[in-house]
Amino acid sequence: MMKRRNKRVLITGSGSGMGRATALLLAEKGYDVIAATRTPEALYDLHPNIVPVAMDLRDRASVEAAVKEAGQVDILINNAGYGFVSSVEEAKEAEMVAQFDINLMGLLRVTAAVIPAMRRAGGGVIVNISSFLGKIGLPMLTFYNASKYAVEGVTDSLRYELRPFGIRVHSVMPGFFDTCFARKNLRINERSFAPDSPYRCFSENLAPRIVDEINHGNDPKEVARIIAKIIDDPDAPARVAAGEKARKFIPMRRELSDEDFERRVREYYNLG
C-alpha cells in the first residue's frame, strides 16, 4: 500500500516572527514545511519537518527556483514583508517602489508560481498575511498601508478567480505583534525624521508609539494558530483579524462612517 504523503506548506518570510512561529507549529502538526527566507541558514536543524530554501521575493527567477525546489505545494502562506515609514512628500522614488516590490509584487510572484500545480491537483490553500493597516490608514505609514490594502484586494479577487479550481484564498490581518518587525523590518526615510522636517510631529510622537505597541504586542504564536485553523477548516472565513488592535479597530471601521472613524483614530493616537 502506497504511503500517503504529508501536506506540503510553503511559507515566505520564515526567518523570524510570525513566519517562524507558523513554520514550527505546522511542522509539529505533521506538515512538511518549506521555509522560504533570504537567510536559510537561520532555520537549519530547527525541526525535522522544516526544509529551509533561499528565496528573494524581488527576483522572479529566485522565486521560481525555490518553488521548483519545494515540489508540489498544497498550502502557501504569503508572510514576507516589511514596513516603510515616511511622509509621502519626502519619500524617494526607489523607497516607494521597494515597498510595493516586496509586500505586493513579491506576494504575487510567489502566488503565480504555485497556482499551476495547485490547479492541476484540483485544490489548495493560500493564506495572505496582510495587516489591520490594510483596512486602516495612519500617517507616515502610507506606503505600507497602501501595500496591505492592495493585498486585501488581491485576496478578494483571487477568491473568485481560483474557486473553480478548488483553491481557497484567505487573509489574516494582524494587529501589533511582538516580533522582530520593529527591530528588523521597519525602514525609515531619514528626511522625515530630520529636525527640520515639516512632519517632525509625527516622527517624534506617533512613530515611537507605534514601535512601542509592536514591541509590546501579542505573541506571534496566535497568528500561527489562526493560520493552522484556516488550513484545517474548509469553511474558514475569507479574512480573520488577529491580535488586540485588529480586533478593536476593524469592527469599529465597519460600524462607523469614514469621518467618525477618522475622528476616533485621531483621538486614540493624539493626531490633532
The C-alpha atoms of residue 198 and residue 140 are separated, in whole angstroms, by 12
Residue linked to cell 500561527: 224
Cell of 181: 518587525
Residue 128: strand pairing partners:
78, 171
First to last CA, the chain: 69
- Reduce the DSSP state of residue 197 to 3 states and report it: coil
Radius of gyration of the chain from its Cα atoms, rounded to whole angstroms? 19
Q: Return the amino acid letter for 242.
A: A
State how far the Cα of 26 lies from the Cα of 19, in Å rounded to an integer: 11
Report helix, strand and coil shares of the chain as percent, to nearest 5.
Answer: 50, 20, 30
Residue 174 parent element (H or E): strand 167-174
| Under 8 Å between Cβ of 147 and 129 | no
Tell me if residue 144 is catalytic: yes
Q: Which of 144, 199, 268, 269 is catalytic?
A: 144
By annotation, the residues acting in catalysis are 144
